[in-house]
Structure 1
Amino acid sequence: MKIKNLIDYYSQELGGYSSYALTEVEEIFLSALGLEQRSALYLNDFQDIPFEVLDSAIEKRKQGYPLQYLTGRVNFFGFDFITKEGVFIPRPETELLVEYVVSNFKAVRGLKIVEVGTGSGIISICLTKLLADCKIIATDISIQAIGLASANALLNGCRDEILFIKGDKTEFLHREGYFDLLVSNPPYIALSEKHRLPKDVKKEPHQALFGGSCGYEFSLDLIRSGSKLIKPGGSIIIEIDQKHKSVYEKSFSGIARIDFIKDIHGLDRVMALKF
């Protein structure tokens, strides 16, 4: 059976709920049929269509269930990752952080790196794949996230190169010595903005979204505690909300050189502090 008509039908069903209905329906079909390339949807005949799976997925998406939880996968920086409910969904914006680290440290061998709040493991896994002989410890307060990150490291062939540890922020890491880099995509949404978030974002774990009443409290605490783990000349590199830029400048300009890296929209998205 050619399924173009089915895709068109489901796209119309989802059209009132998503601005990217066709793309999302294609992703759902790819996942349900076990395919990788969109072209395969239109070039092949299919005998067994999993209508119950498709109907259920489309209905959940209409109710605001995140697409990445429905498909169970996401591509980030050219690598494939598993996604699961209960763990923060990787965003394309975070690729800027990985790109910055790789472009600035690719010539350095044997970097010792800690990632705080690893989530699905995307940052640590990408850095392991792209930096020579780096040693990475990746932490998260969620045991569910640690399990998924471990599975993603196994999927990408680097499970033995990353030490995953369940823990909160950095206090428990002092026994691991000092690090060249601390990297993180911390929670930085203000609690006061919760009501403005889309339905699908609200279904992600709140501890991975909200950084405090103003949004920047978690990051301030992370930088203050994390700076005690950084070697002289080392750096803390985190994703930020540019609305918090002045807070970080006021708090840390006296103890570190601060650089802000803009994303494709011209927004300050990554902050690098060199100590």
Structure 2
Amino acid sequence: MVSRREARLALRQQLRKGGLESPDFESACLLEHVLGASCRLMTRQQLEEPLTGEQAAALHALTRRRLAGEPLQYLLGEWEFYGLPFRVGPGVLIPRQDTETLVECALRAAEGMSAPKILDLCAGSGCIGIALAHCLPHGRVTAVEQSADALRYLQENAALNRTPLHIVKGDVLDPALAESIRGVDVIVSNPPYLTEADLAALQKEVQFEPRAALDGGQDGLLFYRELPALWQESLNPGGRLLFEIGMGQEAAVSSFLTHAGYENIESFPDLAGISRVVSGMRPAGARR
């Protein structure tokens, strides 16, 4: 029988040989997932306890799937974003730390509002909208998502985090949908923004994520071209539209916002110093 300590050492070696970048971290995550307990909190004696046959089989299956490229987050079934847990799996985009920049920017945009109305377009797992609803308990967040698979996770995550969220199934490029939603103070969106070239060169792990959540058209800018004008009437005068963007897209997205009539265009970097968010304000003098 293999002990928990020995199992982790062997797993770490397998992951390292498989070319994974963080074998220490991932081996701990997978073993803890199988054990249902944190190895860091175990005593030396507990670490020497043997794996059960069921645990060994489960760990072997997870290791095989990870070495085949399946994302760690999918194997664990849950991932943290903005300090909150989110269920993830096939059919939904994995929340990424870079996207926390969009949450921070949206919170600043909502400062001073007693009951802000926020709209999350291309909501996916709901990580952005749920994080905002959690931080703004007196606000009202509406999340729009088209994918049936992603909607299931969105609903589960809203329940998991006990955040009241108004969920709408729909296509964010549908003019009728845009016309049906009005009186919004802040719109946030992390739309698909990979180019055709990006999609052709995806890392193995990312290939497991839904293509529809990644594909931004030939140049990656499809949604940025369409959404600013399409959803401008949904914003109250003085309200802001905030986009997460990919590397090198700042100038193009800023120009789309300017062309659509937005003012006070701003961009914000992520923790790595890369421009990650571009936002624009609907003119305060605009008619509602």
Pairwise TM-score range, normalised by the shorter structure? over 0.9
- Matching residue's letter, 2:4: I
Equivalent position amino acid for 1:163 in 2: H
Equivalent pair of 1:119/1:140 in contact (CA under 8 Å): yes
Give the letter for the 2:155 counterpart: S
Partner Cα distance (1:241, 1:115) in 2: 18
Cα deviation, residue 194, structure 1: 1.6
In structure 1, C-alpha distance between the alignment counterparts of 2:209 and 2:149, rounded to whole Å: 13
Show structure 1 runs of 5+ residues with no match.
none
Q: For 1:219 and 1:177, how far apart are their aligned partners in 2?
A: 20
Match of 1:186 in 2: 191
Shift of 1:216: 1.0
- Deviation for aligned residue 1:90: 0.5
Deviates more, 1:50-59 or 1:249-258: 249-258
Which of 80, 97, 102 aligns to 1:97? It is: 102
8 A contact 2:120–2:141 mirrored in 1:
yes
Match of 2:232 in 1: 227
**Alpha-carbon contact 1:106-1:132 (below 8 Å) kept:** no
Counterparts of 1:42 and 1:208 in 2: how far apart (Å)?
43
* Correspondence for 1:6: 7
Distance 1:217 1:178 in 2: 25
Q: Does 1:274 align with 2:270?
A: no
**Pick from 59, 63, 72: which aligns with 1:67?**
72
Q: C-alpha displacement at 1:40, in angstroms?
A: 3.0
Shift of 1:242: 3.5
> In the TM superposition, what is the alpha-carbon distance from 1:79 to its structure 2 partner?
0.7
Aligned pairs (5 A) from 1:46-65:
46=49, 48-49=51-52, 50-65=55-70
1:128-159 per-position Cα deviation (integer Å, ceiling 9, x unaligned) = 1101411111011111111111111111111x
1:182-208 per-position Cα deviation (integer Å, ceiling 9, x unaligned): 111111010122222110101100010
Q: Which amino acid aligns with 1:61?
A: R
Give the Cα separation in 2 of the matches to 1:23 and 1:164.
35
**Superposition pairs for residues 1-275 of structure 1, below 5 Å?**
2-16=3-17, 17-35=19-37, 37-40=38-41, 43=44, 44-45=46-47, 46=49, 48-49=51-52, 50-158=55-163, 161-169=164-172, 171=175, 172-254=177-259, 255-256=261-262, 257-275=264-282
Distance in 1 between residues matched to 2:22 and 2:250, nearest whole Å: 32
C-alpha distance in 1 between matches for 2:181 and 2:255: 30
Aligned residue for 2:90, secondary structure, equals: coil
Shift of 1:41: 5.2
Aligned to 2:285: none
Q: For the aligned residues, what is the CA RMSD? A: 1.7
Is the CA contact 2:11–2:27 (under 8 Å) kept in the aligned structure 1?
yes
Shift of 1:163: 1.0
The code of the aligned residue for 1:19 comes to E
TM-score by length of 1: 0.93
Secondary structure at the counterpart of residue 113 of structure 2: coil
Contact 2:109 2:240 in 1 (8 A): no
Q: CA deviation at 1:94?
A: 0.4
Larger Rg: 2
Structure 1 position 252, deviation (Å) = 2.4
1:66–1:200 contact (8 Å) kept in structure 2: yes
CA distance in 1, matches of 2:224, 2:39: 39
Q: Partner of 1:52: helix, strand, or coil?
A: helix
Shift of 1:47: 5.1
Contact 2:178 2:230 in 1 (8 A): no
Equivalents in 2 of 1:242, 1:67: separation in Å? 24
Q: Once structures 1 and 2 are overlaid, which stretch shifts more, 110-119 or 42-51?
A: 42-51
1:179 Cα offset (Å): 0.9
